[in-house]
Structure 1
Amino acid sequence: MSVDMDRMTGAELRARRHRLGVQGPWMADRLGVRQDTYRRWESGRDPIPVRVRDEVAAVEDITDQWVETVREWIEDTGQSAPWDPLPHAQPDMVAQPQWWLQVVLRAIED
């Protein structure tokens, strides 16, 4: 596979960020880049390094794990969805309220 095929497009990066429910500055920090660099990636002005695909996938994996944790919590407790983060949720992720909302919404979809 060529490097260009491995690269994310700005539109893909933006869509994946929105699905995660996180803001651009948070994602820039998570990827270890300046906010202006991240904005140029999302706008398509600068090419996105190949490594970013795996790094975004890692955030998605953490999110998927939390979706499963919330599903299990709902099943185990018989309670409705926890609109406030569970006590053991990762603080850096929970700092993004939209992220937690996306986790809960995905958990109750099934």
Structure 2
Amino acid sequence: MSFTTYVLSVPIEMLVVAVLALIGGVLAIRSIVHASRMRADAFELTGKVSKTGWVAMLVASLIVLLMNALSLGYRMITLVIIAWVIVGVYWGSKRKEMDNLVNFSQDGYGNNWTR
């Protein structure tokens, strides 16, 4: 079976998840590398590319979580949604802590509103 035949036989949802996971994974690795080099902009959400990457990573994780929940049963969907919200709140709180740590706060457009 050739690569093209295999790709065409895979459901489109799986291809979308794979692409989103790839984009999110690459940008997550980039952020970890930047953080290890003590760069203050490692996890910033400013800039079109960075925002796209984080959104892709969140969407891919939500899709995978929901697919797993459906395979385990409908009762798991509530737990998955709760877990996803907890992760989102935790992630948001860490973002604020990092801003406070480097005394650097931005709005969604990259403007520093503390000055």
TM-score calculated relative to the size of structure 1: 0.33
Pick the structure with greater CA Rg: 2
Larger relative contact order (Cα-Cα within 8 Å, sequence gap ≥ 6): 1
